[in-house]
């Protein structure tokens, strides 16, 4: 992970792009890339989306990476340790959605919120 962060920083700084990469612009870019990822599955059913992903692994892979790169950079510029942030959130989710109440409930997130 640390290597990836270094590489993203180097890529940005060689191009003098840090001036544009404030947290808001990075969050905007994450949303834009997330929508490009979603577009791959537009109009498809869940099953069709699964088949499409299996047959177009490189396209899916690239769109996932685009979101991930900006997300790693946003964590970096805001001084957040992404691995620790994920662990902390998983802990919180485990408390928020206890197994016995959340099991197999399709309205899960919404109703348990």
Confirm or reject binding of residue 110 to its own copies (CB under 8 A).
yes
Q: Is 59 in the site for its own copies (CB under 8 A)?
A: no
**Length of the chain measured in residues:** 113
Q: Is 1 in the site for its own copies (CB under 8 A)?
A: yes
For residue 55, state whether it binds its own copies (rule: CB under 8 A): no
Region 64-103 residues binding its own copies, contact defined as CB under 8 A: 64-69, 71-72, 74-75, 78-80, 82-83, 85-90, 92-94, 97, 99, 102-103
27 binds its own copies (CB under 8 A): yes
Binding to its own copies by residue 23, rule CB under 8 A? yes
Cα–Cα–Cα angle for 32, 34, 37, rounded to 5 degrees:
115
Residue from 2, 95, 96, 109 touching its own copies (CB under 8 A): that is 109
Q: How far is the CB of 104 from its own copies (least distance, A)?
A: 4
For the four alpha carbons of 60, 1, 86 and 9, in that order, the dihedral sign comes to negative
Closest CA relative to residue 66, chosen from 86, 93, 39: 39
The rounded Cα 51 to chain-centroid distance in angstroms is 21
Single out the residue of 44, 86, 40 nearest to residue 61, CA to CA: 40
107 binds its own copies (CB under 8 A): yes
């Amino acid at each position: 992970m640390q290597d990836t962060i270094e590489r993203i920083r180097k890529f940005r700084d060689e191009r003098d792009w840090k001036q544009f990469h404030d947290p808001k612009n990075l969050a905007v870019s994450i949303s834009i890339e997330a929508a490009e990822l979603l577009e791959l599955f537009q109009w498809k059913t869940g099953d069709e989306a699964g088949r499409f992903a299996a047959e177009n692994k490189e396209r899916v892979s690239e769109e996932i990476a685009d979101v991930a790169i900006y997300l790693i950079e946003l964590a970096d510029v805001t001084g957040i340790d992404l691995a620790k942030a994920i662990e902390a959130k998983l802990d919180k989710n485990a408390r928020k959605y206890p197994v016995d109440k959340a099991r197999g409930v399709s309205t899960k997130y919404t109703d348990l919120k």
